[in-house]
Structure formats: C-alpha cells, structure tokens
Amino acid sequence: MKVLVQRSLESSVSVNNNIVGNIDKGLVLLVGFTHTDTSEDIDYLVKKVVNLRVFDDENGVMNKSILDVGGSVLSISQFTLYADTKKGNRPSYINAMGGENATKLYDEFNEKLSEVVKVEKGVFGADMKVSITNDGPVTIILESR
C-alpha cells in the first residue's frame, strides 16, 4: 500500500463538474493498493498518517500532526501509484490491485481514518478532477512495506 501525502491549505475533488469532496487545512492523500495488501497495511498507514508531523509549530518547525492542528483529510484513490515504468514509455499497472478488492480496502482505509479525523473522499474508479493547494510544498510518500 502506498499513500502520497500532501499538506494542503484547501483542496477539492470533482466528478462530472460536481464537487464531491473538499477540505480546508489538512492533508490530501493519494491512496494506492497492490495485490498483497491487507488490513494490517491499512492499520499501519492510518496510524502513520494521523501522527505524521508535517504541520508547523509555534517556531515554524514541522512538529505537529493533523490531530494537533484539527485538520481534515481529502482521500483520493490512485491506482497509478503502482505504475511500473521500467520497460518502455507506457506505464504498466500490473502491480495495482484490481477494482473490487481495491474498493474494499479503500473503503476500509477511509472508515478507519474517519474514526480519528474528518475525511472527505473522491469516487473510486471515477474520472476525477483534483484541485490541490499544496502548502509548502510538502509531499511525502508513505509505504506499508
């Protein structure tokens, strides 16, 4: 499981020109799954995301978590995180988990995350337009393995 984390001032996701999720200060998560991912991977990354100290403290040092600043999460499914570009110029997505299983894990991830922090999300498998105001910019890649 991979989660690309971006610290955000404001972000939104639209499907068919309709906003389906938006946040102010918080984190945008691009979330991808591979074939061997389980609930253990989800538990690990939920804990990592909510405790990740990427927000500034009083001294301007990244020392606060999303819990400390009362931020929200915008979670977007992103199978392309598992793109393999080693051969040729067209990415292969063979390492990305397929639809039904990935949907279940994505839902579980968001449910567990929402037990701790406010979560907005995109629509799994939809053609989404994501608008991110990356604060910093701060972008971090988390992996469960």
Q: Work out the end-to-end distance of the chain between its first and last CA atoms, rounded to an integer number of angstroms.
A: 7
The CA distance from 23 to 49, in Å, is: 16
Q: Which is the catalytic residue, given 36, 80, 109, 124?
A: 80
Q: Which is the catalytic residue, given 34, 78, 85, 109?
A: 78
The CA distance from 59 to 63, in Å, is: 9
CB count in 10 Å sphere of residue 65: 17
The CA distance from 48 to 65, in Å, is: 10
The encoded tokens of residue 109 equal 């991830």
Q: Residue 90 corresponds to which amino acid?
A: R
* 6 catalytically annotated: no
Q: Which is the catalytic residue, given 79, 85, 124, 133?
A: 79
* 55 catalytically annotated: no
Residues marked as catalytic: 78-80
